[in-house]
Amino acid sequence: MELSKIASAIYNDLVSGLSGINANPNISLEQLEDECIEVRQTVIKEWYLKNLLKPHDLMYALNCVPVECDDPLKCCEDSGRRALHFEIPQLMEDLGSDAIEYIGAADRSQKYNVYFSPAMIKAHKYKRWGADTPYVYIEKTPNKNNMYDGWIYNAPLVKKIAIIAIFKDPRQLEQFSCCDDSNKNYLEFGPISNEVKNRLTKTKFYYYRQAAQPPIPNTQIPR
């Protein structure tokens, strides 16, 4: 089920379910979509820890992530070699390495090693074998665009890369749908659709029903 359909279904359930009481679900579909994204992240983390979820079922492929080094502030020099810069949507970092299935050449011909800390980069540099293989460093602090910055080392000059991963907010993928139609379903919640819908509907019902309760009159007689 797509995000917009989940939000609409929740809203319709609220309107019909609250019709018998003095409660008005004064909430927009946009706000419901935001809350659906938050609940989605919670469900993914919980189900992953309980082995109820196969990460591959929630992976999305970005096949044309642009790579550039036009801005010297976004690129850096490493032993005389310039690192290429790219931006990607925020990852579901609670899943650790399982959040990324692939990052590398756009034609899937070469997979890059992925690191999230400077210590891991240092360890790569001093490998006995494979130190010259391509690798990527991803900074998990969101930048001004609310994206993650990434840098590619030891790779030939490329203009685009591909990444297959689980992202925090699938709506961020919209700007990357530039190469093909593979991401037409990026707003699909897949196997967790019903769980997200049911959790948020239950939470909203409770909130609006509590808000509609009349105040309890004070029947105590002052002495």
* pLDDT tens per residue, range 109-160: 999 999 888 777 777 776 666 667 888 999 999 999 999 999 998 887 888 9
Can you give the pLDDT at residue 215? 53
The angle at the Cα of 60, spanning 58 to 66, to the nearest 5 degrees, equals: 155
Confidence of residue 8 (pLDDT cuts 50, 70, 90): very high
* pLDDT, tens only, 21-56: 666 677 899 999 999 999 999 999 999 999 998 888
Reported for 131-135, long-range contacts at CB under 8 A and 24+ positions apart, including other chains, are 134/104, 134/110
- This prediction has a pTM of 0.80
* pLDDT, tens only, 65-100: 999 875 555 555 554 456 889 999 999 988 988 999
Can you give the pLDDT at residue 22? 60
Give the DSSP letter of residue 216: P
The angle at the Cα of 65, spanning 91 to 189, to the nearest 5 degrees, equals: 45
